[in-house]
Structure 1
Amino acid sequence: MTPPLALDIDGTLTTPDGTIDPRVFDVLPSWDAPVVLATGKSFPYPVTLCHYIGIPETVVAENGGVVLADEQVSYTGDREKAVAVAEEFESRGGDLGWGAADTTNRWRETEIAVHIDSDEELLRKVAAEYDMEVVDTGYAYHVKTPGVEKGVGLKEVADILGVDAESFVAVGDSENDVSTFHVAAESYAVANADDRARAAADVVLDEGYMDGTLSVLEEIADR
């Protein structure tokens, strides 16, 4: 029986250049089980990707802050407090790093993302003062409410879909995928994964990015 999938996007469905690997459009539409895109990106990104891939819009976005499944949307996390952290960070000389348009945060509803080249020490200090946490995805620092996790969001999706959360196969590459790995029956870290993801995964793959993900999907399909 084909298992459901929980797939990170950046570093997992992408090329090393950060673009979506075109093989996504070949393999995922024909997958005979639910596919959940679980990402740190703001809500519109994975929804749009689902649309263009041609799969149902089933999403865990903003590191678990927003969940969409079967046309049901739920939100978790204190956006106002995350904004307060960002404002205090900037008042102390920090820079969010996205420029005036800030398309990274413009549509973000439950957290704030800060550029990976920003002052991590200062950001973590300010976040702690507001009882918020910072997660390093390798692409950005995410200021979020403690307890909001991709894995919690995946359990909610599974509930809505009537699927056992422990039946999922998860593939990811960073710290924010650890909670998903703990929920899934099988977890795989692509070769480019960070140390925390590698330590939490059942298997660390020899291939990176979409090459690694594709190797998992091909192995599962051949069972």
Structure 2
Amino acid sequence: MLKALVTDVDGTITDRRRRINTPAVEAVRTLIDAGVEVVFASGNTVCFMDGLCKMVGTDGTIIGENGGVYRRGFSGTLRVPGDKKACLAAFEVLNDYFAGKGVELELFGEQYRFADVAFARNIDPDEARAVIRDHDLSVRVLDTGFAIHLQTPGVSKGAALTALAREMGVSTDDMMAVGDSENDIEMLEAAGIGVAVRNAPPAVQAAADRVTEGAYGDGFVEAVKKYYPYLFSR
């Protein structure tokens, strides 16, 4: 039996306008009440994740900043495998480069981030990747569809899921992961069962064991009911 579920937030338990899908919240609560651990995994900050966990009703176990941070429960120690200094240095290189082209990069919540750097999607991420390569910087560029992130190698939602599973005392084989974006690929591959919702791009769908018929939060609910049917057949 699957003992834990790890799910992305934006684009996975929301609609296309980033509004929380209320049936998805109900499904999460059904899992929690049945003793299944639910982990939110996002590119968002810890403070954002804490608010979400409290409002939905999870125990506060999170993966944030695309795996740059993770924590077991609200009272657990915040682990920070990411290197924010390296990401900030790379951001300055990108900022100088795009400023020369008349484009200003807008940081998102830098003061609330422990591990990665996020900024607005007003540039081509492939061009940013080329600049990073040209400067031989040990940082990767992630496009989540909502922001562009910089993170250090080895950091991912998948690596955080694996480390968090050890703290939870759960095998990754007994975990299910659901996501929709390129920052979810490693997570889908690390979990025993990886599910992509229908709105996920082809590369994400290819990494998944299953792709839902429904998109966004409706796809999430479909996946939960598929793999935990005994909780929804009453």
TM-score (normalizing by structure 1): 0.91
Matched, 1:106 2:111: yes
Matched, 1:168 2:171: no
The Cα offsets for residues 4-58 of structure 1, whole Å up to 9 and x where unpaired, read as 1010001001011111122233221231211111111122222221111111001
d(CA) in 1 for partners of 2:228 and 2:186? Answer: 25
d(CA) in 2 for partners of 1:95 and 1:123? Answer: 13
Residue 186 (structure 1) shift: 1.0
Q: 3-state SS of the aligned residue for 1:134? A: strand
The total of aligned residue pairs comes to 219
Matched, 1:153 2:156: no
d(CA) in 1 for partners of 2:2 and 2:96? Answer: 51
d(CA) in 1 for partners of 2:30 and 2:51? Answer: 18
Q: State the partner residue of 2:27.
A: 27
d(CA) in 1 for partners of 2:45 and 2:132? Answer: 20
- Give unmatched runs, 5+ long, in structure 1: none
Contact 1:188 1:205 in 2 (8 A): yes
d(CA) in 1 for partners of 2:119 and 2:154? Answer: 19
Q: State the partner residue of 1:178.
A: 185
Matches within 5 A, 1:47-126: 47-70=50-73, 71-92=76-97, 93=99, 94-97=103-106, 102-103=108-109, 105-126=110-131
Contact 1:97 1:118 in 2 (8 A): no
Which has a greater percent of helix? 2
The Cα offsets for residues 180-214 of structure 1, whole Å up to 9 and x where unpaired, read as 11111111111100122111001111110000000
d(CA) in 2 for partners of 1:137 and 1:204? Answer: 18
The Cα offsets for residues 58-81 of structure 1, whole Å up to 9 and x where unpaired, read as 101111110110412110111011
Q: 3-state SS of the aligned residue for 2:178? A: strand
- Give unmatched runs, 5+ long, in structure 2: none
TM-score (normalizing by structure 2): 0.87
d(CA) in 2 for partners of 1:179 and 1:118? Answer: 24
Q: State the partner residue of 2:132.
A: 127
Q: State the partner residue of 2:46.
A: 43
Contact 2:72 2:167 in 1 (8 A): yes
d(CA) in 1 for partners of 2:64 and 2:113? Answer: 9
d(CA) in 1 for partners of 2:204 and 2:127? Answer: 24
Q: State the partner residue of 2:202.
A: 195
d(CA) in 1 for partners of 2:51 and 2:113? Answer: 14
Q: 3-state SS of the aligned residue for 1:95? A: coil
Match 1:216 to one of 223, 226, 231: 223
Q: State the partner residue of 2:3.
A: 3
Residue 222 (structure 1) shift: 1.3
The root-mean-square deviation of aligned C-alpha atoms, in Å, is: 1.6
Identical aligned residues as a percent: 31
